[in-house]
Structure 1
Amino acid sequence: MAYFTTVLAHFFGILALILLLVWILHFRGEIDLDNNEASHIFNVHPFLMYFGFVFFAGEAIMAYKTFNVEHKVQKFAHMSLHVIAIVLGIVGIYAAFKYHHKQGITNMYSLHSWLGLATFILYGLQWLFGFVNFWIRGTYDSTRRSYLPLHMTFGRILLFMAICTAETGLIQVSAMLGLQIGTESRLVNFTGLAILLFGIAVELSVSYALAIRL
Structure 2
Amino acid sequence: MSMIFEAHNILNEHQSNRLFNGVLAASQLFGILTVLSVAIWMGGYNEGGFAWSEDPEKQFHYHPTFMSMGLIFLFGEAAIVYRVFRHERKRFTKLLHMAIHSTALIFMFIALKAVLDSHDYHVGPNGKIAPIPNFFSIHSWIGILTIIAYILQYIFGFVTYLFPGLNMDLRKFSLPFHQLFGVIILIAVTLTALMGITERSAWKHTCWTKHGELCSQQLIANFLGICIIGYTSCILFIVLNPRWRRKPLPEEESLQPLSAD
Does the TM-score normalized on the shorter chain lie above 0.5? yes
Matched, 1:211 2:243: yes
Aligned to 1:163: 190
Greater displacement, 122-131 / 199-208:
199-208
The answer as to whether partners of 2:238 and 2:244 remain within 8 angstroms in 1 is: no
Aligned to 2:126: none
Matched, 1:182 2:215: yes
Higher helix share: 1
Aligned to 1:2: 20
Deviation string for 1:125-183 (max 9, x for gaps)?
Answer: 10111111111253232211110000011111111111111110001101111431211
Alignment of 1:136-155 (within 5 A): 136-155=163-182
Deviation string for 1:36-61 (max 9, x for gaps)?
Answer: 22221110101001012211100100
Number of positions where the alignment pairs a residue of Structure 1 with one of Structure 2: 212
The secondary structure found in structure 1 opposite 2:44 is helix
Q: Choose which of 7, 31, 34 in structure 2 pairs with 1:16.
A: 34
Deviation string for 1:105-143 (max 9, x for gaps)?
Answer: 001111111111111111011011111111125323221
The secondary structure found in structure 2 opposite 1:12 is helix
- Matched AA of 1:211: R
Deviation string for 1:64-123 (max 9, x for gaps)?
Answer: 222232111100010010011111100100000000001210011111111111111110
Separation in 2, partners of 1:183, 1:42: 20
TM-score between both structures, scaled by the size of structure 2: 0.78
Q: Choose which of 54, 61, 82 in structure 1 pairs with 2:79.
A: 61
TM-score between both structures, scaled by the size of structure 1: 0.94
Separation in 2, partners of 1:128, 1:138: 12
Matched, 1:26 2:40: no
Separation in 1, partners of 2:146, 2:189: 6
Greater displacement, 189-198 / 22-31:
22-31
Greater displacement, 75-84 / 174-183:
174-183
The answer as to whether partners of 1:33 and 1:40 remain within 8 angstroms in 2 is: yes
Give the number of the structure with larger relative contact order, counting CA–CA contacts within 8 Å between residues 6 or more apart.
Answer: 1
- Matched AA of 1:105: I
Separation in 2, partners of 1:153, 1:167: 22
Aligned to 1:83: 102
Pair member with larger Rg: 2
Separation in 2, partners of 1:140, 1:69: 23
Structure 2: segments with no counterpart, 5+ residues: 1-18, 123-130, 209-213, 248-261
Identical counterparts, % of pairs? 28
Aligned to 2:257: none
Structure 1: segments with no counterpart, 5+ residues: none
Aligned to 2:14: none
Separation in 2, partners of 1:24, 1:87: 20
Separation in 1, partners of 2:96, 2:48: 34
Q: Choose which of 102, 114, 117 in structure 2 pairs with 1:95.
A: 114
